[in-house]
């Protein structure tokens, strides 16, 4: 929604440095949508007292102070407590929590600090499903297909550890991947003897073409390749891979193979996530893994894995989830009652105030798709709005 680096914006007044210079009409359109969203949040926040009634008053939401007047870019900037001493270009690294996110974190933190046991019991059975449903509205797919993690790295580690492979099956990765993919795969290989092979999809980013990337991928896939692991946007070069075309090539190969020999296409998507208006379930990949504490300004220590149904079927959980799977263990539910994403979300008691804040309360309550409406309000590349799903 707000901060991106247009061709014209990173000059002049430092205080305004990162605001996209839209036309007045575009600005008004975006801000009006934003304002509606914040007003919605404020109204619903007032109703939130009942939601936390078992935990005393501290966790009750206060009326939102996040409403922004149309065109008030300074107020928008002020949602982020970033120092003005630097030009902040670190969205690719770690988010500053904008006010709506820190308000939500504070609300949950107060609830947990006042009465940890009751507050947790009030929420734990339902809130992961609500966050996953909100994530699906934002990123596509279905809530049940989304696992909640703490980071891209955790998601990659879980996916590459949990894939069911037969002896001799090969994982094909690229020379362009980030440390987190490299080490997740290397660890898998060390633990299980899985075979990993690396190919280069391009030599010189300046002369890159979609055809050459797809052709190199096709050449790289062997009869024993069962997994292709890639990174959507490369942190080293900024190259964004043509995932759809690559998925189509893999699909063509898969159509000639028996089901058990087909290739799964797995993507570290963190640097495209929130930058592109993309339904990730339509990219053609089988797993899309991202952190939500970079480009979409989510709570630090949050991330997602979206998996197609066939991908999840070929995976096992690595860390026990504290979701409905706990109920299965207690004999109260059957495995088919547990959404696969919940089953694959690592459990244990952790920083719930962050995970639970990875959604807007108004979305959770009104079930509206306000995120997409606000995010992609016009044709410009809009990085994100100050919040998450
Ligand atoms: C391509 C890529 N993948 C993964 C990561 C790690 O992300 P996270 O902090 O969400 O684990 C980074 C950078 O930090 C990255 O550039």
Ligand 1 contacts CB of residue 178 (under 6 A): yes
What pLDDT sits at residue 275?
85
Q: Where are the beta strands (DSSP E) in 294-340?
A: 303-307
Six-digit token string for 251: 């699909």
Ligand 1 pocket test: pick from 291, 303, 358, 388 the residue with the most ligand atoms within 8 Å of its Cβ.
Answer: 291
Phi and psi angles of residue 375, each rounded to the nearest 5 degrees, phi first: -65, -50
**333 conformational bin, left if phi > 0, alpha if psi -120 to 50, beta if neither:** beta
Ligand 1 atom nearest to CA at 268: 3
Tens of pLDDT, residues 151-162: 999 999 999 999
> What is the pTM for the complete model shown?
0.80
- Strand pairing category for 225-231 and 264-268: parallel
Helical (H) or strand (E) element with 230: strand 225-231
Give the pLDDT of residue 70: 64
3-state secondary structure 99-159: HHHHHHHHHHHHHHHHCHHHHHHHHCCCHHHHHHHHHHHHHCCCHHHEEEECCHHHHHHHH
Tokens of 310: 């066939």
78-107 mean pLDDT: 90
Ligand 1 atom closest to Cα of 93?
A: 14
Tokens at 284, concatenated: 């053609």
**Any ligand 1 atom below 6 A from CB of 303:** yes
- Boundaries of every domain in the chain: 1-139+351-389, 140-350
Q: 271: Cβ below 6 Å to ligand 1?
A: yes
Task: Decide: 149 in ligand 1 pocket, CB within 6 A.
Answer: no
Q: Indicate if the pLDDT at residue 76 is higher than 90.
A: no
pLDDT bucket at 69, cuts 50 / 70 / 90: low
> Is residue 360's pLDDT more than 80?
no
Tokens of 304: 């997602």
- Ligand 1 test: best mutation among 183, 184, 270, most atoms within 8 Å of CB? 270
pLDDT in tens, 153-208: 999 999 999 999 999 999 999 999 999 999 999 999 999 999 999 999 999 999 99
User: What local confidence, expressed as pLDDT, does residue 32 receive?
Assistant: 40
pLDDT the model gives residue 73: 76
| Mean of pLDDT over the chain | 79
What mean pLDDT is predicted for residues 323-342? 93
Alpha-carbon distance of 46 to 271, in angstroms, equals: 35
What's the whole-number mean pLDDT along residues 239-268? Answer: 98
Distance 81 CA to ligand 1 centre (A): 23
pLDDT at 365: 35
E strand or H helix at 195: strand 195-199
The residue whose CA has the least distance to atom 2 of ligand 1 is 178
pLDDT band at 71 (very low <50, low <70, confident <90, very high): low
Q: Which fold has domain 140-350?
A: 3.40.640
């Amino acid at each position: 929604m707000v901060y991106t680096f247009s061709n014209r914006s990173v000059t002049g007044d430092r205080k305004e440095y990162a605001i996209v210079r839209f036309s007045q009409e575009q600005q008004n359109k975006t801000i009006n949508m934003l304002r509606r969203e914040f007003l919605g949040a404020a109204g619903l926040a007032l109703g939130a007292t009942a939601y936390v009634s078992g935990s005393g008053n501290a966790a009750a939401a206060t009326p939102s102070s996040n409403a922004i007047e149309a065109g008030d870019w300074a107020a928008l900037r002020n949602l982020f407590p970033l120092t003005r001493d630097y030009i902040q270009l670190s969205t690719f690294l770690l988010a500053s929590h904008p006010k709506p996110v820190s308000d939500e974190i504070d609300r949950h933190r107060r609830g947990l600090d006042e009465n940890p046991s009751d507050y947790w019991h009030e929420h734990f059975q339902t809130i992961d499903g609500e966050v996953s449903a909100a994530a699906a509205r934002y990123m596509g797919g279905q809530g049940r297909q989304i696992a909640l993690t703490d980071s891209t790295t955790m998601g990659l580690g879980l996916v590459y550890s949990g894939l069911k492979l037969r002896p001799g099956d090969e994982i094909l990765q690229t020379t362009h991947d980030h440390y987190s993919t490299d080490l997740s795969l290397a660890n898998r290989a060390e633990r299980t003897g899985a075979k990993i092979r690396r190919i280069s999809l391009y030599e010189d980013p300046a002369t890159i073409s979609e055809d050459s990337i797809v052709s190199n991928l096709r050449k790289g896939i062997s009869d024993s390749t069962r997994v292709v692991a890639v990174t959507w946007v490369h942190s080293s070069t900024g190259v964004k891979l043509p995932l759809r075309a690559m998925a189509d090539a893999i699909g063509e190969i898969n159509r000639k193979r028996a089901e058990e020999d087909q290739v799964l296409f797995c993507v570290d998507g963190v640097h495209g996530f929130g930058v592109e208006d993309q339904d990730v379930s339509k990219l053609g990949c089988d797993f899309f893994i991202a952190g939500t504490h970079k480009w979409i300004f989510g709570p630090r220590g949050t991330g997602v894995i979206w998996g197609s149904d066939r991908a999840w079927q070929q995976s096992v959980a690595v860390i026990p989830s504290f979701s409905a799977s706990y109920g299965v263990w207690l004999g109260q539910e059957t495995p088919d009652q547990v959404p696969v994403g919940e089953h694959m979300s690592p459990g244990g008691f952790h920083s719930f105030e962050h995970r639970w804040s990875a959604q807007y309360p108004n979305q959770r309550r009104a079930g509206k798709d306000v995120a997409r409406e606000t995010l992609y309000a016009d044709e410009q590349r809009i990085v994100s709005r100050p919040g998450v799903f």
